[in-house]
Structure 1
Amino acid sequence: MEVLKSKKVLQDFIERQKEMGKKIGFAPTMGALHDGHLSLYKMAKEENDLVVSSIFVNPTQFNNPDDLKKYPRDINRDISILEKSGLVDAVYIPEVTDIYPEKTESRNYDFGGLENEMEGKSRPGHFDGVGTVVEELFNQVKPDNAYFGEKDFQQLAIIKKMTENKKLLINIKGVPVYRAENGLALSSRNQRLQEDRREASKVIFETLKKVNDWFRVVTIPEIKARVQDIFDQQRGMQLEYFLIADEETLRETDFFYKDRNFRAFIVVMVDGVRLIDNMHLD
């Protein structure tokens, strides 16, 4: 596996691969890698000639400076995980100046209102940061296909919209949520939880499964009340928000329309660690 530590080294590598006519699959990360990330590369390996990863903790998508400081970093561990997986041909580890050559700030994007829903309500500018770093990585890596996990479903929708608006010739592919044996969605943030709290957090997935059972049988206000009641009974957990939204617009709905697709979204604070999850409703 090639380890590419500058924009110039990456560009030389990509140019050689393009000259050989290789189809490139790409999935950017912020490190702290786990099996959820590897599921992206597994799909990429099946669909491309060459798989590229990137590891870059993007400062412009953190609203809280403490979150940026606390974000887990262990680049040697991450490189080892990628090498042992056998799924990745090259990993790009840029410096901040490779992504932001002048000022470390975001561009402004029009995501058609997607940025104002859910996470956007409490994290102003967050998705401009996401759009900025992903667009820049796309321009440098020049992938044919790019892979993102559905755990961050709003981010996936944002990237699809940005790619469409910028007319980038890249296929954006969503990869199903990868879960631990107890159902907890894998996340780099899970590392900050004690083992017993990770086990207790399975209630998040269990609640989403109940919501899917209640879907179209119980009114949405009643579903929301039941979800709130579940988390009121959990020690050390606080429900930040739960909602059901249209999968296309991401707007919250209070009624089911038979010709639309809906998804349940949930955010729970567990001992100060923010966990997010979602589920398509059948």
Structure 2
Amino acid sequence: MLIIKKIKILYKTIILLKKTNKKIGLVPTMGNLHNGHVKLILLAKKYADIIIVSIFINPMQFNNLLDLKNYPQSFKEDCIILKKHNVDIVFFPCIDEIYPNGIRKQTFVEVPKLSKILEGSARPGHFNGVTTIVCKLFNIIQPDFAFFGEKDYQQLLIIKILIKELNYMIKIISLPTIRLKNGLALSSRNNNLNSKEKKIAPYLYKIIKKTCEEIIKGDNTRKNIIHASKILLIKKGFSIDIFDVYNSKTLENSSENVKKLILLASVWLGKTRLIDNKKILLIH
């Protein structure tokens, strides 16, 4: 397994790989790897000959400096996991390598509209940071495939638009959210939960599931169902940024005649931000 920290060295390595006609798969991460990342790597192996995992905690996508400071790091442990699963290359650049002139002077990439709503509204500039680092990784690595989890649903939609509109010849493969047995979506941020919060956190997905079931039943108005669920979340100890149902393709507030919906949730539990979602298919 190669650990590469410099863009120039990675460029040269990619050029050599391209000459052998090997298919390259990219799994972008911010490190602190968990089983969700492992599942992405295993999925990548079904599509690509060479697997590259990037580890970079991207400061450009953090609008909260405390959140950036608290983001868990575990590079040595991550490398043990990656080596175990026969990853070919780990790209582990420093901040100055990615942003040599600093973040404020960095050219950025923006996907209009979708980057400004929901999570983008709650975290100004967040998605500009995401799309900029993703474009940089695509330009440096030139993968044939890139793999993303569906837990970050809005991010996934934005990246798909970016791929299409910037004419990248890259196939995006997504993986459904990986969960613990108690339903909690796997996330590096879960490590920031204290013991009491870890007992409360699974209620988020339980309430999401219950909400979706009631919306499908249609015995009450969608507005009343959402309102009752929000009250329940607050009683459990969550602070809510986003909890509502949207058109799964556009993320616009859904009208009653839209059949493919998604419930998006973004909440705080103590100092930890948790996001999750669940798709809803209405058949009546």
Q: Which bracket does the TM-score occupy, shorter chain normalised?
A: over 0.9
Match of 1:231 in 2: 233
What is the CA deviation profile of residues 19-54 of structure 1, one whole-angstrom value per residue up to 9, with x for unaligned ones? 110001111111111111111111101111111100
User: CA contact under 8 A between 2:41 and 2:51: conserved in structure 1?
Assistant: yes
The amino acid across from 1:154 in the alignment is Q
Normalising to structure 2: TM-score of the pair? 0.93
Q: State the match for 2:268 in structure 1.
A: 269
DSSP-derived class of the 2:230 partner: helix
Q: Is 2:219 the partner of 1:220?
A: no
Aligned partner letter, 1:61: Q
2:153 matches 1:177: no
- How far is 1:101 from its partner? 2.9
Deviation string, structure 1 residues 212-260 (Cα, Å, up to 9, x no partner): 21124132101111211211321x322332011111111122x3324x4
- Residues of 2 paired with 1:108 and 1:89: CA distance? 29
The 8 Å contact of residues 61 and 125 in structure 1, kept in 2 or not, is answered as: yes
Q: Secondary structure, in 3 states, of the residue corresponding to 2:115?
A: helix
1:96-116, CA deviations, whole angstroms, 9 ceiling, x for partnerless residues? 233223332453444241112
Q: How big is each residue's C-alpha offset from its partner over 1:63-85, in whole Å with a ceiling of 9 and x where there is no partner?
A: 01111111111211111121123
- Map 1:106-117 → 2, pairs under 5 A: 106-117=106-117
The 3-state SS of whatever aligns with 1:31 is: coil
Asked if the contact 1:241–1:268 (Cα under 8 Å) also holds between the matched residues in 2, the reply is yes
Deviation at 1:199, TM superposition (A): 2.9
TM-score of the two chains, using structure 1 as the length reference = 0.94
Structure 2 counterparts to residues 151-162 of structure 1, below 5 A: 151-162=151-162
Contact (CA 8 Å) 2:111, 2:128: kept in 1 or not?
A: no
Counterpart code for 1:240: D
1:242 maps to: 243
Task: Tell me which residue corresponds to 1:209.
Answer: 209
Q: Given that residues 40 and 149 in structure 1 are in contact (C-alpha distance below 8 angstroms), is that contact kept between their aligned partners in structure 2?
A: yes
**Residue correspondence of structure 1 range 68-217 to structure 2 within 5 A:** 68-86=68-86, 88-105=87-104, 106-216=106-216, 217=218
Residue type of the alignment partner of 2:115: E
- Tell whether the 8 Å contact from 1:107 to 1:128 is kept in structure 2 after alignment: no
Q: 1-side partners of 2:113 and 2:197: how far apart?
A: 35
Per-residue CA shift, 1:181-239, capped at 9, x if unaligned? 111001111001124422321111111111221124132101111211211321x3223
Q: Aligned to 1:241, what secondary structure does the other structure show?
A: strand
User: Helix, strand or coil for the counterpart of 2:249?
Assistant: coil
- 8 Å contact from structure 2 (residues 110, 131) kept in 1: no
Q: What amino acid sits opposite 1:273 in the alignment? A: T
CA-based RMSD of the aligned residues comes to 1.5
Counterpart code for 1:249: T
Whether the 8 Å CA contact 2:110–2:132 is kept in 1: the answer is no
1:11 matched to 2:11: yes
Q: Deviations over 1:107-156 (max 9, x none)?
A: 34442411122111121111111111110010001100101111001111
SS at match of 1:17: helix
Change in Cα spacing, 1:39 to 1:256, as seen in structure 2 (3 Å) is: farther
What SS class does the counterpart of residue 152 from structure 2 fall into? Answer: helix
The CA distance in 2 between the partners of 1:232 and 1:124, in whole Å, is 24
Is the Cα–Cα contact under 8 Å of residues 117 and 251 in structure 1 kept in the other structure? no
| Structure 1 unaligned spans of 5+ | none
Q: Once the two structures are aligned, what percentage of the paired residues are identical?
A: 37
Cα distance change, pair 109–54 in 1 and its aligned pair in 2 (3 A):
closer
